[in-house]
Amino acid sequence: MKRSPVWHPFTQHALEPAMKRIAKTDGAYLIDEDGSRIIDAISSWWVITHGHRHPAIMEAIRGASETYDQVIFAEYTHEPAEELAKGLIEIAPSGLEHVFYSDSGSTAVEVALKMALGYFHNAAAPRGRICVMEHGYHGDTIGTMSAGERGVFNAAYRPLLFAVDRLPFPQAGREQETLDAFEACCVSGHVAALLIEPLVLGAGGMKMYPAGVLAELKRIAERHGSLLIADEVMTGWGRAGTLFACEQAGIVPDILCTSKGLTGGALPLAATLCTAEIFNAHLSTDRRKTFFHSSSYTANPIACAAAVANLAIWKTEPVRERTGALSEKHRQRLARFAADPRFRNVRQAGTIAALDLDVPAGGYLSDAGPRLRAFFRERKLLIRPLGNVIYLMPPYCVTDGDLDRAYDAIDEAASVFAAGKL
């Protein structure tokens, strides 16, 4: 069979089998060309919240497409963007007052970094350092790769990357080391912002830390006049147990980045929210203080309409009850592995469940990863481990039966792996 010309993301085509085509999506399922119903246990890379093709979101997309396609957003505005911005400000942590649109999580973070640097530049008190947490992942653009963990993901692009200050991950019992490291960075007076994934470091291995650490990091930033950027691209929209993970720490970030679940996962869209102080630093009769950032598809009206429908779902449907119930279901099912010697670090944050398969060679490049993926694929499950880190992040409509299938498959995979048959 002739090889497809498509180059897939994070795929080594020399090692992977030919990809099956998905013919349809439905609720918590992907339906392939053979008619197999595959449980989407990772929400198609963490984007699908309510389920694939939620009727209200699909209807909003159809309706908007009857009126709009793309509208230049540097010259005009439109109702979907205005309504969405108003809605985001209403539900976001109080104190965030302005919304800048972009196209993806990566660009939302790029926007945030530029906002932070521009804020200090325009105040004639420039600061040029960005602090991040080790093991973090913020995207695959140059700025976000610079801020993310250095390694196999970006080794080839090292000449393009800028330096950042890295804080140690707050391991249990060693949280103070992280706080002390941030304090030491801030003392210099050069730190513009701390960029951080609140409570859960996603692609870095589903690493979780307590809300108290995030709250204290915010206090340190405030004490030294530095900004805090919350990368809520993955943790937002109920994933970590609250609408935004920052809520659990009782903080208001200076800048908040959201994407993925912003449209319920239906269309690409991102937003970077900021305080009035940051916006006002760019508000001037001096055109040189303009925030110089854009993309051709900024605030696409159809994507904005999908996001407005998503906001309505959060208001009119019992989404918080669903996320709470899903969190409890994870807790109950994870208990079977709590003392299981085949696993380490069994953990949970809201609707995210994770555990590490105990193998001699862990990490993202562990050969356990592709072997486990193949095992789950055979059982009609989309579970994509991060090396030896197995995690579940299903849509909120997932059934008890489908969750049981996923957890039973994880149990079986560990047994087969231990027996050397995988």
pLDDT at residue 364, rounded to an integer: 84
Residue 1 has pLDDT above 70, yes or no: no
Residue 240 has pLDDT above 80, yes or no: yes
Please write the tens of the pLDDT for every residue from 83-92.
999 999 999 9
pTM score above 0.95: yes
Confidence of residue 122 (pLDDT cuts 50, 70, 90): very high
- What's the whole-number mean pLDDT along residues 6-32? 96
Fold of 319-418: Aspartate Aminotransferase, domain 1 (3.90.1150)
Please write the tens of the pLDDT for every residue from 252-270.
999 999 999 999 999 999 9
Please write the tens of the pLDDT for every residue from 326-384.
999 999 999 999 999 999 999 999 999 999 999 988 888 889 999 999 999 999 999 99
Average pLDDT, the chain: 97
Q: How far is CA 311 from CA 79, 88, 153, 238, 315, in A?
A: 15, 8, 34, 12, 6
Domain residue spans of the chain: 57-316, 319-418
286: Cβ–Cβ under 8 A, 6 or more apart, which residues?
none
- Rounded to whole angstroms, the Cα distance separating 49 from 333 reads 21
- What's the whole-number mean pLDDT along residues 316-321? 98
- Rounded to whole angstroms, the Cα distance separating 15 from 347 reads 31
Please write the tens of the pLDDT for every residue from 141-178.
999 999 999 988 899 999 999 999 999 999 999 999 99
Confidence of residue 132 (pLDDT cuts 50, 70, 90): very high
Give the CATH number of domain 57-316. Answer: 3.40.640.10
Specify whether the CB–CB gap between 372 and 414 falls below 8 A.
no
Q: How far is CA 58 from CA 62, 307, 316, in A?
A: 6, 11, 16
